[in-house]
Structure 1
Amino acid sequence: MIKKILLAVIALLTSIYIGFWATAPRSVDPAQYQILADKYDVHIVRDKYAVPHIFGTRDIDAAFGLGYAHAEDDFATMQDVLLVTRGKLATLHGVDAAKTDYLVHFMDVWNVVDAGYESRINQQTRDHAEAYADGVNFYASEKPDNIAVGLLPVTGKDIIAGFTFKTPLFYGFDQVVAAVVEGRYGTGLDKLAHLHVTDSPQPDIGSQGIAIAPSRSDDGHTRLLVNSHQPLTGPVAWYEARVKTDEGWDMVGSTFPGSPVILHGHGPTLGWASTVNKPDLVDVYQLTINPNNGDQYLLDGEWRDFEVKDAAIDVTFWGPIRWTFHEAIYRSVHGPVFKTEKGAFALRWAGMDEMRTLEEMLAMNKARTQADFEAALSMTASPSINYVYADKDGNIAHYYNAMMPKRPEGDKFSAIDWQGLVAGDRSDLIWQGYYPFERMPRTVNPPSGLVYNANNTPYRSSIGEGQPKPKDYESSMGIQTNMTNRALRIEALFGADKAISREDLHRYKYDNRYAEGSVVDLVLKRLLAMSFEPDSELQAGQELLQNWDLGSDAESRVAALGVMTGSPFVMAVMRDEPEPDLVDVFQNALTLLQDHFGRIDPKWGEVNRLVRGDKSWPLSGAPDVLRAVYGVFDEEAGHQQATAGDSYIMFVEWSPDGILTSHSIHNFGSATLDATSNHYDDQAPIFASEKERRLPLDMVKLMAEKTSDKIIGGDLNLEHE
């Protein structure tokens, strides 16, 4: 597909055929959406850091306000997200975005949404999505410049489709697609590349959530850490907001562009942290094609016809010049099919026909008890994501949430390798439906008073009794069994602490060390056991690392060499890639440090920087430590720039009498794109210093520190505030 597009571009550059040129359709006039304000009544108060606190009588008022406020701060990214969801990103960003548009067609996103929008999700969810879309449209009516052709109007279907398309990408569906397209699936090389959704940095496999019950805290408080690791900018970077309505929607936390709910955070009585999980949620079936008819495949001894649809992908080249490419998409009873030089492969994945994810997330946002929260999860409408939960009554839990395919069990199927290539000529191997929520691994109120997840196995989610056991789950579920460095450090730090204080939790969260037995620890031991030429740079580096404590503190003069040597091995494990050559990595790290800093032992904070515009701050932290920092070395700037990892961090606690306090910090600030705003980087130095701010959840305190105050609509009753 991509090769065909590139060849077509070459043809464009050399062709003089006048009929090739086309003019892009004109966009609608944004001014017509001014009247949308008459449908809603919303009050948006921005606090000291310009974080929006959005109040409405109805949930849809706040949804409208959330769409509007987020568009104020990050409209360009939101526009990209919406165009991605429609399979129209190439109309704005050209041929490089065509692969993403094709993936939307391949996943059949819009047929799923169109078929079920009126029947499969409830009216409340549709109204919520449409109100959020109206907020974006209303913003566009006020700021009509730089709106992409064809973007308006944004609709509720756009918002629903965003969940259908994006949620499978968090468990790695796009990686499987890339492996199949490139002929690598089933060869042992199927994790060597990623099919990126955009050119923005993709989420690294990271995040952690920790919940502490009153029995484990030093003062009877319930404590929750919300600490997801995401890219610092782009379509899946965190945006902080608060919403509160008379209808019971009361949440503060963070969300993504195009998401009309808080994706993790807390309400007055409960909260949760989200982390990525990766059970086996995708199956690849190898099909047998009829040698006499390429449009047929073999199933149960008979030739079946493929369903064939046309994917029309519009690509803009220069200004208004656009061309539509056409690509056939084949579909078997298993799912959509790729035909490659290695054969024909059908894909079947968790969430391939799911459009109710927003409905489940909205129910989570409005939950007030653990029973409410579990009832929301029991919809089984979210393809994956762990939840670490806590509430004011002292309940804590880890839910290994996923739409787990119900693959056939029994002796007849015991030899099937569901994580490899599955025979496509047997209908009994085509799974139907998912296991219910009750069958998912979970740890609820364990005796230890501690639950956690750091992208590790659910079988180690606490310490001691009360954790799920592998024998209780079908092997075909493909439940992960890994332990990350962060998980090992959580166990080491929290394991012996029987009375965890607020200060303890804060200190443990910002721990920046690698554990004994971790990937980096093992790499270091291998390196120290090697022999290098006397008085060589390699030997000097080896002698320096003999004194490394496996920490990544900004002041350390050993961490730079240690982290830069160990990080490639950490990333290889996280991405299931072959490990690099140790001596080559070590030499490259030594050379880079010597060339850019004039020494092999600069302070780690001189190398590792949080960069925003023309400012930068030193950072502690490294890949797969609890103070997670993933970066890219900028040769021109001469230092490493943080691109992902710790981004939005929240500490929540409920006292024994139910009093709630909440502290949070964002990696940059609320003004996502406006470099002239004070709020473009006002949280960055606080973030770099490993501190947070107390959220003004009380209306009096909020109004005392507000930076702006806007009412949209004319009949808002402010008593609810």
Structure 2
Amino acid sequence: MGLVFRWLVRIASGLILLILAAIGLVYFLAGQSLPDYDQTLEVKGVTAPVEIVRDTANVPHILAENDPDVFFGLGYAHAQDRLWQMTMMRRTAQGRLSEVFGARTVPIDKLLRRLDLYGLAYHSVEVQDDYTKAALRAYASGVNARLAEINEEALGRGAPEMFLFNAPVSPWQPGDSLAVIKLMALQLSGHLQDEVIRARTSLMLNNPERLMDILPDVPGPGIAALPEYAALFPRLPQYATGSSMPDTPLSPFPQRGLAGASNAWTAAPSRSASGGTLLANDPHLGFTAPGVWYLARLELAKGGVIGATIPGVPAVMTGRSDRLGWGLTSSYLDDQDVHIEQLNPDNPEEYLTPNGYKTFRTRPSIIEIKDGAPITLTLRWTENGPVLPGSHYSLGTITPPGHVASLSWTALSAQDTSMTASMALMNSDTVPQAIDVAEQFIAPSQNLSVVDRDTIGLKLIGAMPRRDVHNQSRGRIPTPGWLEANRWQGRLPYADNPEFVEPAGGVLGNTNNKIIDRPFPEHVSYEWGDTQRIHRWERLMQSREVHTRDSFIEAQLDTVSFTARSLLPLIGADLWFTGASSPEGTPERQRQIALSLLAEWNGEMNEHLPEPLIYAAWLRALQIRLIADELGPLASEYKHIEPLFIERVYRDIDGASVWCDVRQSAPVETCTEMAQLALDDALIWISERYGTALESLRWGDAHQATHDHPVLGEVPVLRYFVNIRQSTSGGDNTLLRGRTSGEGPDPFENVHGAGYRGVYDFADPDSSVFITATGQSGHFLSRYYDDQAQLWRRGEYIPMSLDIDLARAAAVGVTTLIPR
């Protein structure tokens, strides 16, 4: 027996040693790819020495004798810190994920091939101006210099992920950078799914007038009635279940409600305590680790530029120089239209046009699949755009037999000069100049908030489609693609893009709200990203005669929900402080405690409070009860609370209170009954998930920010090292926006918000501050992988100075690139 025990001990000890040795080997190999920030390196592609000074936050300050060499340095720095992220974005745009990840990403690759974003980006290189072409070539050379260094020095393949996934890296090309921009346009575009959900919902409702309730228009005049979707396509089945793309973090296709958001506001010298202009910007995207944004400073011939870049793109997308500051917010321009194309019944290779049947433009495309046989696709394009599969956002549910769906989208252009516009913006000196050069911006459409030392302005940039005044749906639901009136007719003049410069009030801002009310077809959009945050922003801006950098920061970090403060009095009007006292532990007592807490709450979505969780769970349960019987399975597509819908129901606008009655039941339920039942539903869900002690609940426990690694974040054990999870304040409708997932066992996880925040004061530009949500490095063994995460969570910032001496004073490393 003792002998057996000794051998078991020896075997166990040996296994432990082998495991430790394996862990040590993996750690060593992974650590080999950590970049050396303090070195002198000979490289090909520069004409003179390039210096990369990394300040205490590991922000590279790139200095060179000419602009192309500066962009070379940026390409090298991006590849040092974010090589895996860059190559994955390129693979995604190319539709080549399945070469690495196998069959699970085939649907994504199929759709990306159909859109041909990479091919369009490749052709767009030639339409850039000479300065931009030189920058793109130099940037690509910088990336490739890092790849050469990795190969020559055996630096662990450049990233730990390269050991786990066989993902060979080809040299970077100028078109790759443009493909990354088009991929961002895809992630920021949501009108396609909005058209589909509107069409599907209209088919489910017995009373078409109720469509205005569940999908309400932003208040304001100028919106005409739409035709019923069923009237456009009579052969369509009235009820149809949908199918969708596989749910994977690798998918670039945004879910409904997560297509992009942002905040930006500016103040003129007359409204600034310092006497200089002010600008605050926090663009919102889906959270990942590493984040989308990468901080950098470029010392160009026109002067220093500092701010947020996107790895793969040689430009500061939002930031400042010593002359100009600029920020971006999603404009929600209606830049996508779905068309239903009629096939020729005698020849399915033809589709109907205003001039008769025409043959599809086709091209074969082969998708290589890891551990599987390759697939050959036939890509089809119509005059309106590419043909999309019926699985994409459930297009098949609204496409009649003998028809296919195609997409018109401004990003599907081989003449896209958005990169040229971004370059020119960095080199602009004044607000008028910045607005002028932005005419070349095509997609994704953005609201450009811009300030110089004296002037503030806001301009919608990006191509606005020209639609016929007789368009059947005004771009709101899919239309017959063979009718001339439904087709795009080019681009509206840039002068028609909304513009606001030097307003009388001295303050400009955008929270993705409706910015203009013009009749169709110059309307900009019928779908807007915000109807709520804008009210809180107005209150904060108008509560002060003059603003400071700190008051702008305070607004960025504000967590008071206008939505909660306006809806709770409506839905709880007949419930507050009513009913007899009930014994401890009974549902009635829990309801009384919850209502008492909410009655004394000011609407602050603070992570340490219980009220935000009770409120959020109540509203979610209420919307589910209101729409479940009318919409059936489609109700699951409405994952987020629509505040205007709840308000219409509880104010009984145009008879909207009818939603409170459950059609399948004999009694006629009232809205008060529905509110009480929903509150009980919410409290049961909370008790099962977080316990029954309502006073001890924390919103932050449910509202965890999920900065997850798109690939390693799903690997057991490793996920605990690569994912960044944080308790956070804010919510769907607060200025400190933390958009919830709306689905799964944790529907209030914070999945979409400000990955970057910047505040610039042009009375003292070097007092400007910024922060990202994670860190500079994409290498999970680097101390810069998540070093900014806790600062971001606490609402803290780091300095944004163009003073190179300050950067050198406590630099974590200086890299000098010299010509080989």
1:493 maps onto 2:540 in alignment: yes
Distance in 2, matches of 1:364 and 1:384, equals 15
Change (3 A) 1:116 1:653: closer
**Offset at residue 225 of structure 1 (A):** 0.4
Larger mean CA deviation between 250-259 and 625-634 belongs to 625-634
- Identify the residue that residue 425 of structure 2 maps to in structure 1: 364
1:295 maps onto 2:303 in alignment: no
Residues 180-579 of structure 1: matches in 2 within 5 Å?
198-199=249-250, 202=254, 203=258, 205-233=260-288, 237-245=292-300, 247-248=301-302, 250-300=304-354, 302-317=356-371, 322-338=372-388, 340=390, 342=400, 343-353=403-413, 354-392=415-453, 394-409=454-469, 413=470, 415-427=472-484, 429-459=486-516, 469-470=517-518, 474-475=521-522, 477-478=524-525, 480=527, 483-515=530-562, 518=563, 521-522=566-567, 525-527=570-572, 529=574, 535-536=586-587, 537-566=590-619, 572=640
**Offset at residue 678 of structure 1 (A):** 2.6
Q: Give the AA of the match of 1:489.
A: R
SS at match of 1:368: coil
Distance in 1, matches of 2:198 and 2:602, equals 42
- Identify the residue that residue 171 of structure 1 maps to in structure 2: 189
SS at match of 1:680: coil
Distance in 2, matches of 1:523 and 1:379, equals 46
Cα distance per residue 1:40-88 (max 9 Å; x no partner): 6321111111122222222222222222212222222111001112221
Change (3 A) 1:174 1:666: same
Unaligned runs of 5+ in 2: 1-32, 34-40, 152-156, 204-228, 231-237, 391-395, 624-637, 647-658, 661-673, 708-719
**Offset at residue 391 of structure 1 (A):** 1.4
Distance in 2, matches of 1:193 and 1:357, equals 34
- Identify the residue that residue 604 of structure 1 maps to in structure 2: 699
- Identify the residue that residue 652 of structure 2 maps to in structure 1: none
Cα distance per residue 1:385-438 (max 9 Å; x no partner): 11111111x2111212231111123xxx26554322222223454223211221
Distance in 2, matches of 1:380 and 1:74, equals 26
Which structure shows the higher helix fraction? 2
TM normalised by structure 2 equals: 0.72
Q: 2:65 aligns with which of 35, 39, 57?
A: 57
Distance in 2, matches of 1:510 and 1:237, equals 20
**Offset at residue 631 of structure 1 (A):** 4.8
Change (3 A) 1:299 1:696: closer
SS at match of 2:513: coil
SS at match of 2:285: strand
SS at match of 2:467: coil
Cα distance per residue 1:288-327 (max 9 Å; x no partner): 222111112222352222222223222213xxxx532112
Distance in 1, matches of 2:179 and 2:747, equals 40
SS at match of 2:274: coil
RMSD (CA atoms): 3.8
- Identify the residue that residue 233 of structure 2 maps to in structure 1: none
**Offset at residue 604 of structure 1 (A):** 3.1
Change (3 A) 1:282 1:681: closer
Distance in 2, matches of 1:159 and 1:574, equals 37
Q: 2:78 aligns with which of 56, 70, 77?
A: 70
SS at match of 1:93: helix
Larger mean CA deviation between 228-237 and 188-197 belongs to 188-197
Distance in 2, matches of 1:510 and 1:348, equals 38
Q: Give the AA of the match of 1:105.
A: R
- Identify the residue that residue 679 of structure 1 maps to in structure 2: 784
Distance in 1, matches of 2:743 and 2:408, equals 40
- Identify the residue that residue 18 of structure 1 maps to in structure 2: none
- Identify the residue that residue 775 of structure 2 maps to in structure 1: 669
Distance in 2, matches of 1:278 and 1:103, equals 23
Q: Give the AA of the match of 1:199.
A: L
1:712 maps onto 2:817 in alignment: yes
**Offset at residue 96 of structure 1 (A):** 2.4
**Offset at residue 593 of structure 1 (A):** 5.3
SS at match of 1:316: coil
Distance in 1, matches of 2:242 and 2:569, equals 24
Change (3 A) 1:687 1:390: same
Distance in 1, matches of 2:248 and 2:323, equals 36
Distance in 2, matches of 1:380 and 1:37, equals 29
Distance in 2, matches of 1:219 and 1:191, equals 58
- Identify the residue that residue 117 of structure 1 maps to in structure 2: 125
Distance in 1, matches of 2:610 and 2:785, equals 31
SS at match of 1:457: coil
**Offset at residue 633 of structure 1 (A):** 10
SS at match of 1:315: coil
SS at match of 2:491: coil
Query: Rg bigger for which structure?
Result: 2
1:653 maps onto 2:701 in alignment: no
Distance in 2, matches of 1:504 and 1:333, equals 51
Distance in 1, matches of 2:241 and 2:501, equals 34
**Offset at residue 560 of structure 1 (A):** 2.7
SS at match of 1:352: coil
Instruction: Assess if the C-alpha contact under 8 Å between 2:329 and 2:448 holds in 1.
Output: yes
1:162 maps onto 2:203 in alignment: no
Distance in 2, matches of 1:161 and 1:513, equals 38
Distance in 2, matches of 1:367 and 1:258, equals 22
- Identify the residue that residue 89 of structure 2 maps to in structure 1: 81
Distance in 2, matches of 1:159 and 1:251, equals 19
Question: Which structure has more RCO (C-alpha within 8 Å, separation ≥ 6)?
Answer: 2
Change (3 A) 1:519 1:592: closer
Q: Give the AA of the match of 1:661.
A: S
Distance in 1, matches of 2:241 and 2:756, equals 28
**Offset at residue 600 of structure 1 (A):** 2.1
Instruction: Assess if the C-alpha contact under 8 Å between 2:766 and 2:802 holds in 1.
Output: no
Instruction: Assess if the C-alpha contact under 8 Å between 2:182 and 2:444 holds in 1.
Output: no
Change (3 A) 1:299 1:538: same
Change (3 A) 1:616 1:384: closer
